[in-house]
Structure 1
Amino acid sequence: MVMTMSILNKKLWRDITQHFGRFIAIVMIIFLGVLLFVGVRGIGPALKDSATHELDQQQLADIQLISPAGFSKADQVAWQQKAAVTVSRARYRQVQTKAGEVVAFYSQPTNLNRPRLTEGRLAKTNREIVLDARAASKYHYRLGQTLTLSGQGFKTSHLTIVGFAQSPQYVDNTQRGAATIGDGTVAFFAYAKPSALQMPITNVVWLRLNKIDHSQRYTDHYTRQVTQVVDRLTPMVKAQLATKSQQQEQTIAQLTRANQAQPTPARTQQLAQLKAQTFNYQVQTQADYPGFSAYGDTADRISAIANVFPVFFFLIAALITFTTITRLIEEARGQLGIMKALGYANHTIARNYWGYALITAILGTTLGVIIGSLWLPRFVLQLYTTMYIFDRPVIYFQWDSIALASLFALLSTLGAALIVIWQQLRVGPAELMLPKAPRSAKRILMEHWTWLWQRLSFNQKVSYRNLFRFKSRLIMTVIGIAGGLGLLLTGFGIRDAITATGTRQMDDILRYQVSIRANEADKVTPAIKKLTHVNAVLPVASSLVSVKAHAQQVNDVNLNQVTSSTLPQFIQLKNTNGHALKVDGKGIIISQKLATLLHVKHGDTITYKTPTGQAKRATVAGIMVNYVGHVMYQNSSAPANTLLIKQPKLTAKQEQQFAKAAMKIPGVQNVSFKADQLSSIATMTKQLNPVIAIFILLSGTLSLVVLYNLTNINISERLRELSTIKVLGFYDREVTAYIIRENIILTVAGIIVGYGIGNALTAYILHQAETPQIVFPLTITWSSYLWSTGLMLGFTAIVMFMTHRQLQHIDMLDALKAND
């Protein structure tokens, strides 16, 4: 028994070493399949886990309340009694530096929204300040420098920089949100001692829910829990502000009477300040922080892609592996017959091939799991550190993905071995030791086209006959090449579609360059028209509404109400057939994604609720193509609050100058450039580029290995045939051409089929990757087709060269020895 096992072990080792290229190819295919399946499916969770870990360490607040009227200690106690929350109050204001940069200035946090120092220390005195790390990287501030602020409201306007930090409120390194002063954008944030800001009130409150699982921060369950708390606290906030308003009115009345009796400059100034104070408030959640939702959307998109692309990738890998193991055992018919004749039991003979399959499966799976689980997500996260503050990867093994990958790997290797070895060992030793009867020759369809067949050379005729004679080889090769090219084209196609989302939205649909938010926009219009670089202005009443239809509701829909006939100059409204839509009094035009979510079509009725709570009904007069966000257009004379502006192409400096000039006009609240939105969409594309690059790289590698493996199988099955034509006097290059001619035909056929697979797979993945706010158009550029085709042809050339070298070393005598 020991000697038997020793002999079988030697045979197993010889099977591996004598055909080491084939062994490595099988391991590589399994490795690539597991690597992509486990690795890509782990990127999305790793992005979220890393963010959650960092944000929990910095104690990011779940809710932020902002009010110019301020919040008191009594307010804080009341909230804590109403809900299980941790509360922290802070002072906040937007200020400008002497250089003109807008700074989001906070009093230094203690327990919630804690900054993480990247350099230096926190402020200890009223003359010290901690700046955003972005102030160092983009604006070149350094420790020890003095930051000079313009305006009043500080103990001193000259503050010494003692540290740089990152904030959980600003996770995106590329943006810091909108501003109501300066050029309309925040340059960076800053922290100082609370006493450094001469503010009598704390106008910001941060709340962190105590009874909530913050590890679910990027889930709908978390959002619902936060919304429930906001709904409970909102009536309290309104009541508290109403009480303050009444007290304010009493104070104003008393000061007015006193000032009438004995007017003083100080009293007059105090009255003006009190009358200017409003009692409105803002409620913000983590989704309102700059870049927060975009980060989560990126992780969700990767997860959506990972549910499709790696599965298809693995199916191709598993199919090729199954075929390779099958052919490996079929080639060993003679050895199986000899071992059976020598008295070896079926299970003993089968053990070697099960062992071979297990070794390849275990090696490929182990390498794929380790590199896929640990290296691939870490590599992608490292690429994201330039865009986000999450630079400390938190990666957990995705055991469900690992289990599935292991199962697929075993099915494609051990499963193939079990099935084929059982079929082979069912017959007797004598039959096994005989070579398989060759397939009978049949006329192929091309032979009936005599006008073509007569013009073909002998070698060409042989090649075409072989192609259609061995149909299983033809099908497997075409599937392998088509699958590889389809995967390559899908990788490029996803990139093209994401890029096209921005360009089509911003160039084809939105024709204006700037939008300005303003109180009583009609009154601001004359002043805006006097600014330089203004070609045309369109007043629009823009508001966010919630829309209902067929028991479905969509929130945050941008309703644009206009009366001007010049709307097409600013916004192109077209349906999915490309026909122009007109905004008139006959109904409302809605975006395609909104129509899909509400299950409505042309002529249906929708109900929308205005910001004041008023419910209105409207008939759907058209469904427009739109790629980003939910929008509706309606003919109405509602008071305008937004101005759309057409401009010539401006430089970044000219845009900054225009924004500063516009912000100085009374009533202007915000200036937004379309170029900034394009930049945001470009950032979204950039965020997915690392993953797309990995798809393309691994798809290319799989294609190369599959081509090599299938060509190896082809050669090993036809050694006697190839040796025969070498003996007949064919030169090496002619023997190579004999094989390569078939490969070229199969490659071309595979590429054509691959175009269809690539388009179908890209369309499906894009549909899965869509968010409630974004539609990805199926757009694959010619350059993507050329790159995919060029790569596949390049892989074919590499395999051809390797095949030529291999054919030069065929042992003709050994191959021609009869085994019977």
Structure 2
Amino acid sequence: MVMTMSILTRKLWRDIYQRLGRFVAIVLIIFLGVLLFVGVRGIGPALKDSAITASNQQRLSDLQVISSAGFTKADQRQLEAAGDVAVSRVKYRQVQTKSGQVVNLYAQPTQQNCPMLVSGRLAKSDKEIVLDQRARTKFKYRLGQTVQLAKTSGFKAQQLKIVGFAHSPQYIDSTMRGAATMGDGTVAFFAYAKSAVLQLPVATMLAIRGTHIDHQALFDQRYTDQVDRLKQKLTPILNRQLAAKQKKQQQQVSQLTQALAQLPASQVAPRAQLTANLAQLKAQSFQLQVQTHDDLPGFSAYGDTADRISAIANVFPVFFFLIAALITFTTITRMVEEARGQLGILKALGYTNGAIARNYWLYALLTAVLGTTLGVVVGSEFLPRFVLNLYTMMYIFSKPVINYQWGTIALAVIFALISTLGAAIIVIWQQLRVGPAALMLPKAPRSAKRILMERWSWLWRQLSFNQKVSYRNLVRFKSRLIMTVIGIAGGLGLLLTGFGIRDSITATGTRQINDILTYQASVRTTNQADTAAVARDLRRDRDVTQVLPMSSSLVTVRANKKQVNNVNLNQVQNSTQLGRFVHMTTTRGDTLHLPQTGVIMSQKMAGLLHVKQGDTVQCKVGSQTKRIKVAGVMANYVGDVMYMRGTSAINTYLVKQPKLSSAAQQRFSKRAMKIPGVLNVSLKTEQLSSISAMTKQLNPVILIFILLSGTLSLVVLYNLTNINISERLRELSTIKVLGFFDREVTAYIIRENIVLTVVGIILGYGVGNALTAYILQQAETPQVVFPLAMTWSGYAWSTGLMLGFTAIVMWMTHRKLQHIDMLDALKANE
């Protein structure tokens, strides 16, 4: 028995060595399938785990509360008494540098939102400052230099030495720092300094972190629900605190007014000082802003990116792996069928079915174990780490956290075993059911049949003999035809899907900004602004051609037991002008006009609420709820939006401009920010840059899809061609003996491959479009819709790559056919 096993074991290794190309091809196909399946499905969790680990290490707050009224120790104690929260008071204000850059300046935190030092150290004195790492990369600040903070309202100019650069868990996106109420309306970078540098009597920010909140679920709905409940619990307390400060302010105004009335007119200087103090006190607008992570620059976009990758990973790698498994199953099946003669000899020598089958089971198991092990290691360790390293250029998380996705790995192992060991078990069982004599006889060749092309006699007569044989052979070997077409169609479909996802995600931003929003800037004002004066000043600007006043507010919309929050409701008085600023069309492309009554809402929102034109929705504005008819559904790709006629207070101005350079747009933004009452200016080019940055975040993953799909396509073509040659070795040797030249023998095989490649490519277009559409649907978020946008370049690259792979395989086939041992192949199997 031991000797028997030894002989069979040597035979196993001899089979591997003699057909090393086939063994490596099977291992490589399994490896690629597992690599993409495990690796890509691990990228989304790795992105989240890296962010969660860093955020928890720096103790990122769950809520940030900002108020110009300030916060006292009593306010802090009152919130902490509510239970289950840690509260830190922080001094914070927006300032400008001497060169005009807007800076979010914080007192150096120690308990929450702690800085992550990149270089240097923290500030130790009132003459030192730590800058955002973005200040070094974008604005070229260096350690040891000084930064000059300009004099602004209530802030004295200062000159501070730069002693360090840092990241902040509040600003995870390296490309954006949020909006500002001064300068050009955007924050350039943040900074940390000692408390005295900020020149504030009280803290203006509260950092709140829930002690019983699951911070490991930072990007999950569970965490969002927990924070929402905490916000609802603390908001009434914060409102009471604000009301107390407003009451105190009113009392102070009353006291100063009385004092001014009692002061004699002859007291000129005291009256002037008292008047100035009174004016300053009245000008204070005590407002309260409660922020969650969704309000932090880039935070929700980061989570959406991870979710989109996970959504894509639930479809693309699965399809990829199915193609790989199908080809592997076919290869193992053909390998066993080729060994019919050996199986018969072994049975005739007295070997049991189990002993004979053992070799093929071990062969299949060995390919599965090698391919799966390599795929799991590379897929789990290197692929997510590689993508995360690319993402460090856009995000602050420089230490990848990789946790093995054991559920995904288990599925990969099962698929790999089914496609290898499963195939070996099924086929060897079928083969060993017959006797030794039958096995030692070669299988009867398949007979040729009349094909459809022969019915067109005029066409059939134009073909040469070799062409007729090739076309008949296509139908003669049906299983090879089906597998080759499936392999090519699947490979090209995967390639086209990779390019299609890239093009479609890019089209989201360009269609939203260029096709739907036809204005160039949006100006937001405070509630106290003189709207007529703002409109007049904007129209007088030399770079403005048209201005549309409107009321913009965030509302909640309900219908069919569904709810959409933070919907941007835009109300205009002059509906005829709206079409010049917003191009509203149906999803079919028909133009929409704003009706006298009812709203036009975005397509994604209508889908979430399950409503259509003519239905009614409930719109909650503040504490009031109104029933509004849906007058139309418009194409919209980013955000939830509604348009309607209305007379609400104006707080937004859409601005049309001629084509301006980026520098000219920035100059306009600075001029607009100087208009009294203007709170913020948003440029469409900045929105496009933001959306473009969002789409670029997926480029590394898409590139991996394309590279691995191309590699799989090449291996599949090579494997299927090898199977074709090995099955028809006697046939090919026969025609060589008959005098066919090497190039004619190659053409005999390649002519069939060309036809199958063309058919596979055509079918692959349909597979690619269907797969891309399905993936885009899965990758949609509540805020973003991805249109199916397959560009000619995607088709060209996919087709070109597939034809290139076919050419490579043709060359390899030609080389192999030149070295066929005709005599050995033609030996009779008697």
Question: After TM superposition, is the score higher than 0.5?
Answer: yes
Segments of structure 1 that go 5 or more residues without pairing to the other structure are none
Cα distance in 2, alignment partners of residues 121 and 607 from structure 1: 54
Q: Does 1:77 align with 2:73?
A: no
1:546, 1:553 within 8 Å by CA — same for their partners in 2? yes
Give the structure 2 partner of residue 114 of structure 1.
114
Cα distance in 2, alignment partners of residues 191 and 266 from structure 1: 34
Give the structure 2 partner of residue 691 of structure 1.
701
2:619, 2:625 within 8 Å by CA — same for their partners in 1? yes
Q: Does 1:657 align with 2:667?
A: yes
Q: Which amino acid in 2 is paired with 1:714?
A: N
Q: Which amino acid in 2 is paired with 1:698?
A: L
- 1:231-250 alignment runs, 5 A limit: 231-250=232-251
Q: Which amino acid in 2 is paired with 1:65?
A: V
1:521, 1:642 within 8 Å by CA — same for their partners in 2? no
Give the structure 1 partner of residue 283 of structure 2.
276
Cα distance in 1, alignment partners of residues 630 and 157 from structure 2: 58
Q: Deviations over 1:127-173 (max 9, x none)?
A: 11111111111111111111111115557611111111111111100
Cα distance in 2, alignment partners of residues 579 and 522 from structure 1: 35
Query: What SS class does the counterpart of residue 359 from structure 1 fall into?
Result: helix
Give the structure 2 partner of residue 638 of structure 1.
648
Cα distance, 1:265 vs structure 2: 4.2
Cα distance, 1:578 vs structure 2: 1.4
- 1:153-552 alignment runs, 5 A limit: 153=154, 157-262=158-263, 263-518=270-525, 519-552=529-562
Cα distance, 1:254 vs structure 2: 2.1
Cα distance in 2, alignment partners of residues 146 and 266 from structure 1: 36
Q: Deviations over 1:178-197 (max 9, x none)?
A: 00000000000011111222
Give the structure 2 partner of residue 736 of structure 1.
746
Cα distance in 1, alignment partners of residues 514 and 670 from structure 2: 25
Cα distance in 2, alignment partners of residues 522 and 626 from structure 1: 31
Cα distance in 1, alignment partners of residues 18 and 659 from structure 2: 67
Give the structure 1 partner of residue 619 of structure 2.
608
Give the structure 2 partner of residue 777 of structure 1.
787
2:150, 2:156 within 8 Å by CA — same for their partners in 1? no
Cα distance in 1, alignment partners of residues 47 and 273 from structure 2: 55
Cα distance in 2, alignment partners of residues 663 and 75 from structure 1: 33
Q: Does 1:595 align with 2:596?
A: no
2:151, 2:157 within 8 Å by CA — same for their partners in 1? no
Cα distance, 1:433 vs structure 2: 0.4
- 1:789-804 alignment runs, 5 A limit: 789-804=799-814
- 1:16-165 alignment runs, 5 A limit: 16-151=16-151, 153=154, 157-165=158-166
Segments of structure 2 that go 5 or more residues without pairing to the other structure are 264-269
- 1:752-771 alignment runs, 5 A limit: 752-771=762-781
2:120, 2:164 within 8 Å by CA — same for their partners in 1? yes
Give the structure 2 partner of residue 557 of structure 1.
567
Give the structure 1 partner of residue 586 of structure 2.
575
Cα distance in 2, alignment partners of residues 536 and 766 from structure 1: 37
2:171, 2:296 within 8 Å by CA — same for their partners in 1? yes
1:126, 1:155 within 8 Å by CA — same for their partners in 2? no
Q: Which amino acid in 1 is paired with 2:403?
A: Y
1:127, 1:156 within 8 Å by CA — same for their partners in 2? no
Using the TM superposition, name which of 85-94 and 342-351 deviates more: 85-94
Query: What SS class does the counterpart of residue 555 from structure 1 fall into?
Result: strand
Q: Which of these residues, 629, 638, 643, is aligned with residue 639 of structure 2? A: 629
Query: What SS class does the counterpart of residue 66 from structure 2 fall into?
Result: strand
Give the structure 1 partner of residue 266 of structure 2.
none
Q: Which of these residues, 726, 730, 743, is aligned with residue 720 of structure 1? A: 730
Q: Which of these residues, 749, 752, 757, is aligned with residue 747 of structure 1? A: 757
1:154, 1:196 within 8 Å by CA — same for their partners in 2? no
Using the TM superposition, name which of 304-313 and 268-277 deviates more: 268-277
Cα distance in 2, alignment partners of residues 756 and 541 from structure 1: 46
1:41, 1:307 within 8 Å by CA — same for their partners in 2? yes
Query: What SS class does the counterpart of residue 566 from structure 1 fall into?
Result: helix
TM-score (norm 1): 0.99
Cα distance, 1:264 vs structure 2: 4.3
Q: Which amino acid in 2 is paired with 1:596?
A: G
2:595, 2:631 within 8 Å by CA — same for their partners in 1? no
Cα distance in 2, alignment partners of residues 265 and 57 from structure 1: 53
Query: What SS class does the counterpart of residue 548 from structure 1 fall into?
Result: strand
Q: Which amino acid in 2 is paired with 1:349?
A: I
Q: Deviations over 1:34-71 (max 9, x none)?
A: 00000000000000000010111111000000111111
Cα distance, 1:448 vs structure 2: 1.7
Cα distance in 1, alignment partners of residues 530 and 566 from structure 2: 22
1:522, 1:539 within 8 Å by CA — same for their partners in 2? no
Q: Which amino acid in 2 is paired with 1:481?
A: I
Query: What SS class does the counterpart of residue 272 from structure 1 fall into?
Result: helix
Q: Which amino acid in 2 is paired with 1:202?
A: A
TM-score (norm 2): 0.98
1:627, 1:775 within 8 Å by CA — same for their partners in 2? yes
Cα distance, 1:269 vs structure 2: 3.0
Cα distance, 1:520 vs structure 2: 4.4
Query: What SS class does the counterpart of residue 67 from structure 2 fall into?
Result: strand
1:594, 1:630 within 8 Å by CA — same for their partners in 2? yes
Cα distance, 1:568 vs structure 2: 1.1
1:537, 1:646 within 8 Å by CA — same for their partners in 2? yes
Cα distance in 2, alignment partners of residues 12 and 596 from structure 1: 59
Cα distance in 2, alignment partners of residues 731 and 391 from structure 1: 60
Q: Deviations over 1:778-797 (max 9, x none)?
A: 11001100000000000000
Cα distance in 2, alignment partners of residues 207 and 79 from structure 1: 9
Cα distance in 2, alignment partners of residues 487 and 526 from structure 1: 55
Q: Deviations over 1:86-108 (max 9, x none)?
A: 11111111111110100111111
Q: Which amino acid in 2 is paired with 1:448?
A: R
Q: Which amino acid in 1 is paired with 2:282?
A: K
2:70, 2:205 within 8 Å by CA — same for their partners in 1? yes
Q: Deviations over 1:311-336 (max 9, x none)?
A: 00000000000000000000000000
Q: Which amino acid in 1 is paired with 2:442?
A: P
Q: Which amino acid in 2 is paired with 1:589?
A: I
2:131, 2:166 within 8 Å by CA — same for their partners in 1? yes
Cα distance in 1, alignment partners of residues 673 and 453 from structure 2: 76
Structure 1 residue ranges (4+ consecutive) displaced by more than 4 angstroms after TM superposition? 152-156
1:29, 1:321 within 8 Å by CA — same for their partners in 2? yes
Cα distance in 2, alignment partners of residues 197 and 589 from structure 1: 47
- C-alpha RMSD over aligned residues: 1.0
Cα distance, 1:273 vs structure 2: 2.4
